[in-house]
Amino acid sequence: MRREPSDNGPFPAPICLLQGALVTLYSLLDRLTISYQRIDHAPVFTCEEASTLLPDLPAARTKNLFLRDPKSERLFLVVAPEESRVDLKALAMALGVKRLSFGSPERLNAVLGLTPGAVTLLAMVRDTERAVTLVVDQTIWHAEQVQCHPLVNTATLIITLDDVRRLLAHLGREATIMALPVQPT
């Protein structure tokens, strides 16, 4: 759904850029004949908020982490099951980096054009510099469908993993699939 500028003048620049990204994402999904169910909702910034607002949807719920290795400056987008607490020390070892920390909101915006709360595996469409490594938990990768934001935190898409794989193939991207190490509960 495309929103046009009002008669009162154009959108401010950030909204114009965001609207353009959304139009591009939806156009790409349409061009690849990737179907999805879209659920609009109030902005969410945490998995807990999303769980409260969204009904019990028939797709895997995810937690998306934008991480970086401070030494090498490598960036990672990690997609984990919503309820998991990823062990960042063990994950760093598994990925062959010294340590992982969360990427700043500024870096997230600069690299993927996203704001906190909108991190999504669909952000790979924005990673034109191929600066981010996508890491997906094997449970999510083998699910039939997944819930993900369409680059904003005011909607959730339900999309099949087969279609996610087709999208990544179209982008020439691969995901690193692994059993993400988790902290004991």
Structurally, what CATH architecture does the domain formed by 13-178 represent? Alpha-Beta Complex (3.90)
When the pLDDT of each residue in the chain is averaged and rounded to a whole number, the result is 86
Quick one: which of 85, 79, 151, 76 has its CA closest to 107? 76
**pTM, 2 dp:** 0.85
> So where are the chain's domains?
13-178
Q: Count CA atoms within 13 Å of residue 41 on its CB side.
A: 21
| Mean pLDDT value of segment 26-52 | 88
DSSP state string for 39-86: EE-S---SHHHHHHHS---SSB-EEEEEEE-TTT--EEEEEEETT--B
* Mean pLDDT on 70-85: 94
Residues 84 and 96: their CA atoms lie apart, in Å, by 21
User: Looking at residue 142, what is its pLDDT?
Assistant: 97
Residue owning tokens 């349409």: 30
